[in-house]
Amino acid sequence: MAYEEMTGAKILVQALIDQGITDVFGYPGGAILPVYDELFQQNQIRHVLVRQEGGAVHGAEGYARSTGKVGVVIVTSGPGSTNAVTGLADALMDSIPIVCFCGQVPTHLIGNDAFQECDTTGITRPCTKHNYLVKSTKDLARTIHEAFYVARSGRPGPVLIDLPKDVSLGLGPYIPPADVVHKTYQPRVEGDRALIEQAVAMMAEAKRPIFYCGGGVINSGPRASELLTQFVNMTGFPVTLTLMGLGAVPASHPQFLGMLGMHGTYEANLAMHGSDLIIAIGSRFDDRVTGRLNAFAPNAKKIHIDIDPSSINKNVLVDIGIVGDVTRVLEAMIEVWKARGYKADAAAIADWRRQIEEWKGRNCLAYRHSDEIIKPQHAIKRLYELTKHREDVFITTEVGQHQMWAAQFYGFEKPNHWMTSGGLGTMGYGLPAAMGVQLAHPDALVIDIAGEASIMMNIQEMSTINQYRLPVKVFILNNEYMGMVRQWQELLHGGRYSQSYMSSLPDFVKLADAFGAVGLRAEKPSELDDVIKEMISIDRTVIADIRVDKAENCFPMIPSGAAHNEMLLGPQDKAEQPISEEGMVLV
């Protein structure tokens, strides 16, 4: 069969259309100009012009995570691609499907230290799921379709295509997606039946079980969250979620214990520690979750369901590891549970839940309210109370204290409505991510819960948000400190606040004005509700500068090097439990 010949640039655009792509994020430059010329001459794909390439990748991440589609980025060679690196590393850690096209100098100049040349595939190899340098236009269509397949299959991730200028100008055949055969990468989606049988039998025996679920449930699609909630209901087992998993089970679910881990709830962490069976689903036993490994859930058997075999037995050895897609495995587990007529040990589970209720009684998220000064926790709580009636609220965050408070105090009822940089912890993620979310959901209420330090890292994207009239709300918890850095300095470094205070911050109200947005400010608790209501009611971009208590710390906290049952619950705990030497070297 003869394929139509076209230029590489046109192949790229045609491939995007055939992949169902409607929006791309990017920034032009010399080596990628042929592609931009082609984009100019069509109207099926909308291009969002960011202000820095890092913003393009985070924008695509927000877009991808809120829609379940693949995010697409187009940047130029050299600095274009190096600026994209942080976003790619972020997407790799959080398993976000991205395809990033980078312009490259023409093939005959590669290796010559040409203008705006860098070894993009070399630089991005460890921070992408896979990457390609396309050396001939005849390979381009196949490569692009394979890139999309790799990005979204198995454990999703970022894939980069380095595109020399002569390849995008040259002629080659356009091969449609259906004609591309994937030779090697065939991730396993069906779980092993025998292991599923064993796992479910183990669950029926359990006395103190807990579901510990993560971003893999979200990545598996909304059906996975439904199945998980169904399984949680059927078994009566308690469930905790990781930072990346929030929304997989409704926050209002009576068996939901909140987030676990370093800033997780007392009840979630103690339930993990005291459990006799952990059912880990799409979670990866990350160090922020496990605390000190040799004291992690000492009496628990562990079942681990993950699509990535390398996640299983990586940090924590498990008893049953099931490789497969969460949706498929949960379907099979529920089927086995029903078919075999399994029942949870009702008496034991009732005892277990009573114990958990007792832990809940500690009210670990309590904070001292003030009428003088806005407590950051209170700000998030009010934001939640005043927006929870809406179905269409999407929250993004930057990284730090505000992120943890958002995770603790904002209740997520549905998957794909919470976008945060979990694995890499990228300050500056939230604003461009909110831009991507708003682009995909033009009528939704999209709020970037930010800190004043993080927001400065990609503040230039306010200009993009203005250009596309995106009514993103930026809710800054402004304490003039890098709050989490300051908190660690207080707890670990004798209160020596080295470089964590920012003087000369911009006036965020004026800054909003300069970017064509509306600036609001709340300085007293009495002003907070009005500012939040006004922010929501304005049909434009808003920056709300919420002046919060500068000294507030985020609790509970498992200090680094400590175990789940060695949590600090509040400021009164810190003097009694100094951090171990082993803990000091951990991040």
Partner 1 sequence: MSAPNNNQRHTIAVLVDNEPGVLARVVGLFSGRGYNIESLTVAETKPEAGVSRITIVTSGTIQIIEQIKNQLRRLVPVHTVSDLTIEGPHVERELALVKVSGTAGRVESLRIADIFRARVVDSTNESFVFEIVGRPDKLEAFIKLMKPLGLVDVARTGVVAIARGPQAL
Min dist. Cβ of residue 125 to partner 1 (A) = 6
Confirm whether 398 is a catalytic residue.
Answer: no
User: Where does residue 214 fall: left (phi above 0), alpha (psi -120 to 50 degrees), or beta otherwise?
Assistant: beta
Confirm whether 457 is a catalytic residue.
Answer: no
- Interface with partner 1, residue 318, by CB under 8 A: yes
Using the contact rule CB under 8 A, the part of the chain among 128-136, 446-454, 464-472, 517-525 near partner 1 is: 128-136
Using the contact rule CB under 8 A, the part of the chain among 124-132, 239-247, 278-286, 513-521 near partner 1 is: 124-132
User: Where does residue 419 fall: left (phi above 0), alpha (psi -120 to 50 degrees), or beta otherwise?
Assistant: beta
- Interface with partner 1, residue 587, by CB under 8 A: no
Task: Please identify which residue in 82, 121, 460, 467 interacts with partner 1, judged by CB under 8 A.
Answer: 121
Cα–Cα distance measured from residue 125 to residue 17, given in angstroms and rounded to the nearest whole number: 27
Confirm whether 584 is a catalytic residue.
Answer: no
Confirm whether 165 is a catalytic residue.
Answer: yes
| Per-position DSSP letters for 191-231, written without gaps between them | PPHHHHHHHHHHHHH-SSEEEEE-HHHHHT-HHHHHHHHHH
Task: Please identify which residue in 308, 523, 534, 573 interacts with partner 1, judged by CB under 8 A.
Answer: 308
- Interface with partner 1, residue 145, by CB under 8 A: no
Closer Cβ to partner 1, 52 or 77, answer by number: 77
User: Which residue of the set 53, 267, 398, 461 is catalytic?
Assistant: 53
Cα–Cα distance measured from residue 49 to residue 58, given in angstroms and rounded to the nearest whole number: 13
Closer Cβ to partner 1, 325 or 331, answer by number: 325
Across the beta sheet with 542-547, the strand order is 418-419, 393-397, 445-451, 473-478, 542-547, 518-522
Task: Please identify which residue in 313, 363, 370, 526 interacts with partner 1, judged by CB under 8 A.
Answer: 313
Q: Is the peptide bond before 556 cis (omega within 30 degrees of 0)?
A: yes
Task: Please identify which residue in 125, 340, 368, 510 interacts with partner 1, judged by CB under 8 A.
Answer: 125
Min dist. Cβ of residue 468 to partner 1 (A) = 34
Nearest one of 304, 202, 494, 495 to 289, comparing CA atoms: 304
Cα–Cα distance measured from residue 429 to residue 413, given in angstroms and rounded to the nearest whole number: 22
Q: How far is CA 62 from the centre of its chain?
A: 8
Task: Please identify which residue in 185, 193, 339, 340 interacts with partner 1, judged by CB under 8 A.
Answer: 185
Closer Cβ to partner 1, 66 or 131, answer by number: 131
CB 256 within 8 A of CB 408: no
Q: How far is CA 156 from the centre of its chain?
A: 12
Cα–Cα distance measured from residue 217 to residue 228, given in angstroms and rounded to the nearest whole number: 8
CB 173 within 8 A of CB 3: yes
CB 196 within 8 A of CB 164: no
Task: Please identify which residue in 130, 223, 414, 550 interacts with partner 1, judged by CB under 8 A.
Answer: 130
Closer Cβ to partner 1, 133 or 445, answer by number: 133
CA distances, 195 to each of 199, 303, 326 (Å): 6, 10, 14
Residues present in the chain in total: 587
The strand pair at 5-7 and 130-133 is best described as unpaired
Confirm whether 53 is a catalytic residue.
Answer: yes
User: Which residue of the set 138, 165, 302, 381 is catalytic?
Assistant: 165
Nearest one of 50, 132, 37, 36 to 87, comparing CA atoms: 50
Task: Please identify which residue in 249, 312, 557, 568 interacts with partner 1, judged by CB under 8 A.
Answer: 312
- Interface with partner 1, residue 150, by CB under 8 A: yes
Task: Please identify which residue in 41, 43, 181, 184 interacts with partner 1, judged by CB under 8 A.
Answer: 184
Using the contact rule CB under 8 A, the part of the chain among 170-178, 302-310, 357-365, 391-399 near partner 1 is: 302-310
- Within 10 angstroms of residue 186's Cβ, the number of other Cβ atoms is 9
Min dist. Cβ of residue 122 to partner 1 (A) = 7
Task: Please identify which residue in 190, 319, 413, 534 interacts with partner 1, judged by CB under 8 A.
Answer: 319
- Interface with partner 1, residue 111, by CB under 8 A: no
Closer Cβ to partner 1, 42 or 299, answer by number: 299
Min dist. Cβ of residue 109 to partner 1 (A) = 17
Task: Please identify which residue in 1, 183, 194, 389 interacts with partner 1, judged by CB under 8 A.
Answer: 183
DSSP conformation class of 408 = H
Min dist. Cβ of residue 155 to partner 1 (A) = 8
Task: Please identify which residue in 51, 65, 69, 129 interacts with partner 1, judged by CB under 8 A.
Answer: 129
Closer Cβ to partner 1, 128 or 426, answer by number: 128
How many residues of this chain interact with partner 1, rule: CB under 8 A? Answer: 21
CA distances, 501 to each of 453, 473, 486, 504, 566 (Å): 9, 25, 8, 10, 29
**Residues annotated as part of the active site:** 53, 115-116, 165, 484
Site for partner 1, rule CB under 8 A: 121-122, 125-126, 129-131, 133, 150, 183-185, 308-310, 312-314, 317-319
